[in-house]
């Protein structure tokens, strides 16, 4: 036969404070997610695609451009006020950044789209802010789509 427990005992167990568990996520990145920004159409000028408040960890990004006439659209990544990447689609093509490399920037393209990917061998930590933006210096850019993969610090 089961014993009856008193209500006082059960209430006392529920009232105990929760102890915070510290996570280190040493085998990976805590809470990974994707944040996306779209600008359609994308007229000449500077456009912020993604802004993330820190602290956090940057894992990678991709900025896809549809349209344009001369590839003078710049992809700019700033972390905590410091410039990490500032490169046009034309410069990436001219520098031969069209395949995987340790520099972390790659230009991929199809007949209709061009994508600059950003990813480094080690995650980059940001304490205050991460900003992914583009500066469009060409006509007829139909849209620009930016994705940032990031995690908790």
Question: Which H or E run includes 9?
Answer: helix 7-14
What is each CA distance from 148 to 5, 17, 52, 61, 63, in whole angstroms? Answer: 53, 37, 9, 4, 9
pLDDT of residue 5: 52
pLDDT of residue 8: 53
Say whether pLDDT at 149 is over 80. yes
pLDDT of residue 108: 96
pLDDT of residue 34: 98
Percent pLDDT > 90 in the chain is 75
Gap between the Cα atoms of 98 and 93, Å rounded: 7
- Rounded to an integer, the average pLDDT of 85-101 is 94
Entry pTM: 0.83
The more confident residue out of 89 and 13 is 89
């Amino acid at each position: 036969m089961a014993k009856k427990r008193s209500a006082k005992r059960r209430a006392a167990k529920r009232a105990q404070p929760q102890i915070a568990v510290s996570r280190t996520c040493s085998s990976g990145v805590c809470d990974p997610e994707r944040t996306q920004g779209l600008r359609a159409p994308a007229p000449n000028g500077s456009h912020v695609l993604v802004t993330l408040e820190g602290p956090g960890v940057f894992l990678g990004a991709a900025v896809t451009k549809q349209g344009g006439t001369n590839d003078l659209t710049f992809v700019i990544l700033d972390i905590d006020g410091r410039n990490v990447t500032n490169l046009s689609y034309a410069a990436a093509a001219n520098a031969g950044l069209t395949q995987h490399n340790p520099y972390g920037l790659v230009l991929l393209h199809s007949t209709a789209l061009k994508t600059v990917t950003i990813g480094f061998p080690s995650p980059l930590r940001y304490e205050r802010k991460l900003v992914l933006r583009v500066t469009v210096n060409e006509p007829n850019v139909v849209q620009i789509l930016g994705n940032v993969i990031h995690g908790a610090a």
